[in-house]
Amino acid sequence: MYKLQGVINLGVRRVVIPGIFPIGCLPIYKTLFQSNVSTNYDENQCLNQLNDLAKNHNEQLQEGINGLMRENPNAVLVYGDYYQAYKHLHRIATLNDFDTERACCGIGGDYNFNVTTMCGLGGVNNFMGRNRYISWDGINLTRIGNKIMVNWLIRKIVPRLQCQS
């Protein structure tokens, strides 16, 4: 929050502060922390503990933003809810038969992700059906995944920025 206060001190009056994704849904973490215990996963097959960590981070971030807003009543500070944006992406992707589990560009395992053989290395599949996946390389979203999330974020954030036309 210290750096954000510095930006406000420079005269910036409208700032979007992004939260983080439900990281327990990303192929990298699902691979690294894979479990045979079904209760470790939610209804979307995402890792509960990692998503709880992301939720806690986002709650702490929002508390910090609220504190800064009290200290800077002329600033418009908007929380960018990447967690809910990703949940929206996941719902849309599921409804449209996208692969929400595996990386498009990857190799091996349940999630098409291997930390020692990542996207960009020789022999790694990197263009097969990329418009049917939401994860590009197990860490980053595909173009369509980003597009769906950005559209949701814009609809939620822009009205709250209080911009005059």
Q: Where are any strands of DSSP class E within the chain?
A: 14-18, 76-80, 99-103, 133-135
pTM of the predicted structure, to 2 decimals: 0.90
Ramachandran bin of 97, using left for φ above 0, alpha for ψ from -120 to 50, beta for the remaining angles: left
pLDDT of residue 116: 86
In the chain, which stretches have pLDDT less than 70?
A: 124-130, 165
Assess if residue 19 is contained within a domain.
Answer: yes
Ramachandran bin of 141, using left for φ above 0, alpha for ψ from -120 to 50, beta for the remaining angles: beta
Structural domain for 76, as ranges: 15-158
Contact criterion met (CB below 8 Å) for 89 and 145: yes
Quick: pLDDT tens for 67-94.
999 999 999 999 999 999 999 999 999 9
pLDDT of residue 141: 95
Work out whether strand 76-80 and strand 133-135 pair parallel, antiparallel, or are unpaired. unpaired
Assess if residue 8 is contained within a domain.
Answer: no
Assess if residue 3 is contained within a domain.
Answer: no
Assess if residue 7 is contained within a domain.
Answer: no
Average pLDDT, the chain: 92
Contact criterion met (CB below 8 Å) for 65 and 44: no
pLDDT of residue 71: 95
Work out whether strand 133-135 and strand 99-103 pair parallel, antiparallel, or are unpaired. parallel
pLDDT of residue 78: 97
pLDDT of residue 165: 59
pLDDT of residue 119: 81
Give the separation between CA 16 and CA 41, rounded to whole angstroms: 31
What residue spans of 13-121 are helical by DSSP H? 27-32, 48-71, 82-95
Contact criterion met (CB below 8 Å) for 69 and 130: no
Assess if residue 64 is contained within a domain.
Answer: yes
Assess if residue 5 is contained within a domain.
Answer: no
**HSE-up of residue 134 (Cα within 13 Å, Cβ side):** 24
Assess if residue 6 is contained within a domain.
Answer: no
pLDDT of residue 111: 94
pLDDT of residue 62: 97
For the chain, the domain total comes to 1
